Structure 1
């Protein structure tokens, strides 16, 4: 049960980081009128950063 509580926030963190990057890309596309460019960059960077945070949050702490 303790592991469940310890890692219960990881899914929300992944979705939040990914969503923020995609949202930022969409907003930049609207502002600069370059439709798919920044949205695609936001998707790619958001996925990479979300995976990075996922790995950092779940890696076993070495003593």
Structure 2
């Protein structure tokens, strides 16, 4: 149980580091797949894709982009 919690914390930290890196690069707020702007209502550190790529039917089995 503690290992699962530790893993979730590590994953969240990885998402935060990725968001900070994208902010530094000036790409925060762009979809990682198509580079379209992510709407303000969706723009949070854990949302890295626009609404089109976030729809279950649009998602590939594995993410096309691995970005921290």
Structure-2-length-normalised TM-score: 0.41
- Using CA pairs below 8 Å that are at least 6 residues apart, which structure has the higher relative contact order? 1
Q: Which of the pair is proportionally richer in helix? A: 1
